[in-house]
């Protein structure tokens, strides 16, 4: 079987842009949640979110081109450039057909859609930009990245709600294992902090309304959790076959060894534990790893009452007597929920956990919940040797994806 390794990473998140800044804030428990500034949210029940701060698309993209793209594409390109530079990869005429892109998004170009609808209503159809459609289509994150670097290998996009990032990375893992590419640039991007989207999630009663305490609002696994906090950003990584990485002398962060995916077949939004259980078990089986070998789980942990209890139940079913020995943290406590980008940014965190031997905390954990009774690494990061680490992403529609990473060994 072809071994697949991680050789580069990029992050755009509410609490940091770039791997160094982002990781520093993650291990120090720095929250990126604040009052919404993108629009007047005073009429919304939820008025807080994890907006990316200090991001200038013109640092990454020429002004003329940036105007043709939605914000989720800006984030995807920035994270892709970071991951590409970090990997030391060089696209050439000789290798470009063996290098692909697989970047997903959960909702696509909602900001551009809302703005174009406003123009339609106020000024008529003749004033709609010719770039409206290419700015909102979900696969244009992948498309723009492939054009930017001249990558002519497999090019695709997955849209599986909050499991998107994990599915994109997992499907890229399979592409390399099949021999269809040597290298894949993979992950997720999302940017939907808009009046319509926040309003829609408010109508579902899915979001926290702890508006007076933004940095304390996202509190996964805590008894007082009252809903998730919307985030935005992008997390991408360069995956490549071990043979290819060795030939070019690449620095290797970690190895991707397992991928599991499943469906709940239960409800459009409410989770069912059997789907999460099968997703984790399939990832372990794929890697030929026993539950007792896993040291850390980066939980989906959204800060919703049902979701966190469901995941805890699933972890206990999969890991049995080993479950209390696991470190389980939800970094959404700091980033908020990046929807389609969650799996990408959390895979980056999981790999960095293995690389640095530091387990990130679950911040805002104050009141234990009897239904959530594992070791959630409360409030303070922990040094630990982590050989195997697992990351979960579960999406609306009952779609589940689990990735299992391993410390790289020859």
DSSP sequence for 51-69: ---S--GGGTS-HHHHTTS
Domain range summary for the chain, segments of one domain joined by +: 1-396
Give the pLDDT of residue 188.
98
Strands (E), 105-215: 155-156, 183-190
Whole-Å CA distances, 243 to 221, 246, 252, 315: 41, 5, 12, 34
What does the alpha-carbon distance between residue 232 and residue 307 come to, in Å, rounded to a whole number?
A: 20
183 forms bridges with which residues in the sheet? 99, 240
Give the pLDDT of residue 149.
98
* Phi, psi (degrees; rounded to nearest 5) at 147: -70, -35
- DSSP-based three-state secondary structure for 87: helix
Give the pLDDT of residue 405.
98
202 forms bridges with which residues in the sheet? none
Give the pLDDT of residue 54.
96
Residues 108-130: tens digit of each pLDDT: 999 999 999 999 999 999 999 99
Number of neighbouring beta carbons within 10 Å of residue 372: 23
* Phi, psi (degrees; rounded to nearest 5) at 36: -65, 135
What does the alpha-carbon distance between residue 44 and residue 337 come to, in Å, rounded to a whole number?
A: 18
Residues 6+ apart with CB under 8 A from 130: none
The residues annotated with a catalytic role in the active site are 162, 300, 337
Length of the chain: 410
Give the pLDDT of residue 46.
98
Q: pTM score > 0.85 for this model?
A: yes
Q: What is the DSSP letter of 292?
A: G
Torsion from C-alpha of 297, 76, 37, 228, nearest 10 degrees: -30
Give the pLDDT of residue 387.
98
269 forms bridges with which residues in the sheet? none
Give the pLDDT of residue 273.
77
- Residue ranges for the chain with pLDDT beneath 50: none
What does the alpha-carbon distance between residue 123 and residue 3 come to, in Å, rounded to a whole number?
A: 55
Give the pLDDT of residue 269.
84
Give the pLDDT of residue 270.
86
**Tokens at residue 370, please?**
């009897």
What does the alpha-carbon distance between residue 182 and residue 176 come to, in Å, rounded to a whole number?
A: 6
Strands (E), 252-380: 254-263, 296-298, 327-329, 358-359
Q: Is 1-396 in CATH node 3.40.47.10?
A: yes
């Amino acid at each position: 079987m072809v071994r697949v390794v991680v050789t580069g990473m990029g992050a755009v998140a509410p609490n940091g842009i770039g791997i160094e800044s982002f990781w520093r804030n993650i291990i120090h428990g720095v929250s990126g949640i604040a009052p919404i500034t993108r629009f007047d949210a005073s009429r919304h029940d939820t008025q807080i979110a994890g907006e990316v701060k200090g991001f200038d698309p013109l640092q990454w993209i020429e002004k003329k081109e940036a105007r043709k793209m939605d914000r989720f594409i800006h984030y995807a390109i920035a994270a892709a450039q970071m991951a590409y530079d970090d990997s030391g990869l060089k696209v050439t005429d000789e290798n470009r057909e063996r290098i692909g892109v697989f970047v997903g998004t959960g909702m696509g170009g909602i900001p551009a859609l809302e703005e174009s609808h406003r123009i339609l209503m106020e000024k008529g159809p003749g004033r709609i930009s010719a770039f409206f459609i290419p700015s909102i289509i979900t696969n244009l994150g992948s498309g723009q990245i492939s054009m930017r670097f001249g990558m002519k290998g497999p090019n695709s996009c997955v849209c599986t709600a909050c499991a998107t990032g994990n599915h994109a990375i997992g499907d890229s893992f399979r592409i390399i294992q099949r021999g269809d590419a040597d290298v894949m640039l993979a992950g997720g991007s999302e940017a939907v902090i808009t009046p319509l989207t926040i309003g829609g999630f408010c109508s579902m009663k899915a979001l926290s309304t702890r508006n007076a305490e933004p940095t304390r609002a996202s509190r996964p696994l805590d008894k007082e959790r009252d809903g998730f906090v919307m985030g935005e950003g992008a997390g991408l990584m360069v995956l490549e076959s071990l043979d290819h990485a060795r030939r070019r002398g690449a620095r290797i962060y970690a190895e991707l060894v397992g991928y599991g995916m499943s469906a709940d077949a239960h409800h459009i939004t409410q989770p069912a534990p059997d789907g999460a259980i099968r997703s984790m078990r399939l990832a372990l089986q794929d890697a030929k790893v026993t539950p007792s070998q896993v040291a850390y789980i980066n939980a989906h942990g959204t800060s919703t009452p049902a979701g966190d209890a469901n995941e805890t139940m699933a972890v206990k079913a999969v890991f049995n007597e080993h479950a209390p020995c696991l470190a389980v943290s939800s970094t959404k406590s700091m980033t908020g929920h990046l929807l389609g980008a969650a799996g990408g940014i959390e895979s980056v965190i999981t790999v960095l956990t293995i690389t640095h031997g530091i387990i990130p905390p679950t911040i805002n954990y104050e009141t234990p919940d009897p239904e959530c009774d594992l070791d959630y690494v409360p409030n303070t990061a922990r040094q630990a040797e982590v050989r195997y680490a697992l990351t979960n992403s579960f999406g609306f529609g009952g779609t589940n994806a689990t990735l299992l990473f391993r410390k790289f060994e020859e």
